[in-house]
Amino acid sequence: MKPVRETLLNRRSIRRYERRELEPEQLLFIYDAIRNTPTSYNGQQFSVIALTDKERKTELSEIVGQKQIKTCALFLLFCADFHKLNMAASLEGMQSPRFQDTIDGYTVGVIDAALAMGNAIVATESMGLGSCCIGYTRTCNPKAIARFFALPKGVAVVCGLAIGFPNEMPDLKPKLPRDMVIFGDRYRPDEEGMKEELKAYNEEIIRFNKQRSEGATDNEWISHILDYHREAAKHKLEDALKAQDFRI
């Protein structure tokens, strides 16, 4: 088991995996780390669907268009889940207050599921395994994904996570400097200073990409992220959420 510091500071996304299954105790550790996630009200407003079957992973990989899903040993789908609590309410003959229809209710489900995914990533990394979040599982084709996983009403996809034995070790990506992420006391007031640091970080990413691709690409950070956002803004997830009975 790696020390916590190394586990957290040396993590990077791994997209190529050895064709090797996880040991049962590795699976159990990941699952127990997921179960012990802190959640709002201890309501545990999330569920995870685990996929190890080769054919199912191949089929899902084709729907999502991400081949890590096919080659990973374990694929986990993290969902916001109000179905279980709606069931619990009906067991007691009670009416659910429809928290899932509010922005805060949906956010609570997303936070719980995302924290569970974070726990899974740390557990995975600490055992020398690698992982890659797959957000396209939420956005690419919500109807097909809901059908594929037989999601009941009250369950919405948050993110997927591919896990496996690493078959690559890409360089750690440079991240924004500490004082662009963690502000002392109040939101950082010096916009000019922030702009300078953003510019410097953009340059750092250009250098990093150039070096990583041996000069083939010098992708910038800013325009690259804006392109992603431009595309992501086209996903109309409101309809997908409505179909899953989140009437926000």
**Sheet strand arrangement including 46-51:** 46-51, 74-81, 155-164, 130-134
Which stretch, 22-30, 33-41, 85-93, 134-142, contacts ligand FMN (CB under 6 A)?
134-142
User: Is 61 a binder of ligand FMN (CB under 6 A)?
Assistant: no
Q: Which long-range contacts (CB under 8 A, 24 or more apart) does 235-244 make?
A: 235/139, 237/138, 237/139, 237/142, 239/142, 240/142, 240/143, 240/146, 240/156, 241/106, 241/156, 243/142, 243/143, 243/146, 244/146, 244/151, 244/153, 244/154, 244/155, 244/156
Closest separation in Å from C-beta 62 to ligand FMN: 15
Question: How many chain residues bind ligand FMN (CB under 6 A)?
Answer: 11
User: Is 118 a binder of ligand FMN (CB under 6 A)?
Assistant: no
Closest separation in Å from C-beta 2 to ligand FMN: 17
> Helix 24-35 vs helix 103-126: angle between axes, to the nearest 10 degrees?
150
What is the torsional sign of CA 235, 239, 244, 248? positive
User: Is 13 a binder of ligand FMN (CB under 6 A)?
Assistant: yes
Q: How far apart are alpha carbons 16 and 165 in whole angstroms?
A: 8
Closest separation in Å from C-beta 13 to ligand FMN: 4
Nearest CA-CA partner of 74 in 124, 34, 139: 124
User: Is 173 a binder of ligand FMN (CB under 6 A)?
Assistant: yes
Closest separation in Å from C-beta 158 to ligand FMN: 8
Give 33 or 132: the residue with its C-beta nearer to ligand FMN.
132
Structure tokens at 77: 């789908």
Q: Do 147 and 171 touch, CB atoms closer than 8 A? A: no
User: Is 12 a binder of ligand FMN (CB under 6 A)?
Assistant: yes
80, 83, 137 from 108: Cα distances, Å: 8, 14, 20
Give 45 or 137: the residue with its C-beta nearer to ligand FMN.
137
Task: Show the DSSP H helices in 92-176 as ranges.
Answer: 103-126, 136-139, 142-148
Which stretch, 7-15, 38-46, 86-94, 217-225, contacts ligand FMN (CB under 6 A)?
7-15
Closest separation in Å from C-beta 47 to ligand FMN: 17
Which stretch, 38-46, 80-88, 127-135, 201-209, contacts ligand FMN (CB under 6 A)?
127-135
Q: Which of 66, 86, 100, 209 binds ligand FMN (CB under 6 A)?
A: 66
User: Is 166 a binder of ligand FMN (CB under 6 A)?
Assistant: no
Which stretch, 10-18, 73-81, 105-113, 228-236, contacts ligand FMN (CB under 6 A)?
10-18
Q: Which of 85, 133, 151, 163 binds ligand FMN (CB under 6 A)?
A: 133
Contact footprint for ligand FMN (CB under 6 A): 12-13, 15, 66, 132-136, 159, 173
